[in-house]
Amino acid sequence: MAAKDSKLRQKIEEFYRLCDRFELVYPDIEESKGDMEFTSPSVVRLTEDADIPHLFGHYLCDYHTIEPDVVADVISTMVNESNTKPVLDDPVQKAFQHNLGLYR
């Protein structure tokens, strides 16, 4: 049981780190009573196997209903950060460049 609690605590901390990174208010986080995750602007229910970045995306969609400008700023930050990655770190761009080289 302690391992399960530890894994769940890590998931909660990961979610809160994403909230901190984008300066969002923390929702209440609860353990799901089954194997389904749930998000709303004020409550997130998760399992120990939750994919936190995916769940955070759902939370942002819900949060958009009360703070659309805040969510737009978060998305803008994400896009700007992704645009600063070197092209060769992006597997799609890397494959595209490789394929271009094959047909020259």
State which residues form the domain around 74: 2-102
Give Cβ neighbours of residue 24 (< 8 Å, ≥ 6 apart): 18, 63, 70, 74
- Per residue of the chain (104 residues), what is the pLDDT tens digit? 677 789 999 999 999 999 999 999 999 999 999 889 999 999 999 999 999 999 999 999 999 999 999 999 999 999 888 777 665 566 666 666 555 555 55
Q: Nearest CA to 11 among 37, 34, 33, 42?
A: 37
For the CA atoms of the chain, what is the radius of gyration? Answer: 18
What pTM did the predictor assign? 0.76
Give the number of domains in the chain. Answer: 1
Q: What is the pLDDT of residues 86-99, one digit of tens each?
A: 655 666 666 665 55
